[in-house]
Every structure is written in C-alpha cells, then in structure tokens.
Amino acid sequence: MRRVLIIVTLGLFLAGCGGEKTVSPTGPVEGTLPKAEKGDPAAGKAVFADAGCGGCHTFKAAGTNGSVGPDLDEALKGKDADFIEESIKDPNKEVASGFSPGIMPQDYASQLSSKEIADLVAFLQTAS
C-alpha cells in the first residue's frame, strides 16, 4: 500500500511539472483605466467656437470677451486637464467664485464626442 501511495504521489508531482505556458493578456487588464484621448489644441479652438463658449467666456487664445461666465484665462490658471474636463462635463461640481450654478449648459458631456472634449481640454490648457 505504501508503495502505491509513493507512486501516486510521484505521478501527481511529475504531472504538475513542465508543460507550463506563459500567457499574456490580449486585452485590457481588469483594474486598468483606458488611456485618456490625446487632444489637439487647434481642433479644440474650433470646438470652443462651434459650441459657443466665447459668447459667455473671455479667453484670449480664442479672442473672446464674454462675461456671463468666468474669465477662463484666470479661472483655469494652474488647473490640470482633469479639472478642466470635469468642469465641462459637470459644470456645477465646482462653480467659480462670483458665479451661480446652473448657468453653464449641463449637457456638453452628451453633446460633444470624447474626441471633441479632449480637443477642447487641450485648447483650454493653453491658459495655464
């Protein structure tokens, strides 16, 4: 009986050795975030104009002087891309001092494509 147990144990041990294959993931690994889309500032300038942003905001790079919303040259100084994107998609999350919530349209996240938002963010980052 002991001999059979040793043979079975040895067989199981050998069966577990070798033949292993390293497998690499072929798609996104769970827990990883998709890379942010790279924006084009020149295309973002066109999005700024087409979306009518200059009617409400002053922004030197766009040649606009709206006063309904904050002066973006000042409001975006030192702000990163994440803050700017969030301000477009959820404008009431953090409202600039002296301005009321609900003035900026709330639907840019659904009205603009992810590429247009990335381009707009890249353009607005020229204020920093």
* pLDDT tens per residue across span 13-47: 555 555 555 555 565 655 554 556 789 999 999 99
Q: Is 18 left (phi over 0), alpha (psi -120 to 50) or beta?
A: left
* 67-83 mean pLDDT: 95
Residue 64 DSSP one-character state = E
Q: Is 41 left (phi over 0), alpha (psi -120 to 50) or beta?
A: alpha
Residue 120: pLDDT band with limits 50, 70, 90: very high
Q: Which pTM does this prediction carry? A: 0.71
Q: Other CB atoms closer than 10 Å to residue 75's CB: what's the count?
A: 19
Q: Which domains does the chain have, with CATH numbers?
A: 41-127 (1.10.760.10)
**What is the C-alpha to C-alpha distance for residues 68 and 1, in angstroms, rounded to an integer?**
90
**Would you state the pLDDT for residue 124?**
97
Residue 67: pLDDT band with limits 50, 70, 90: very high
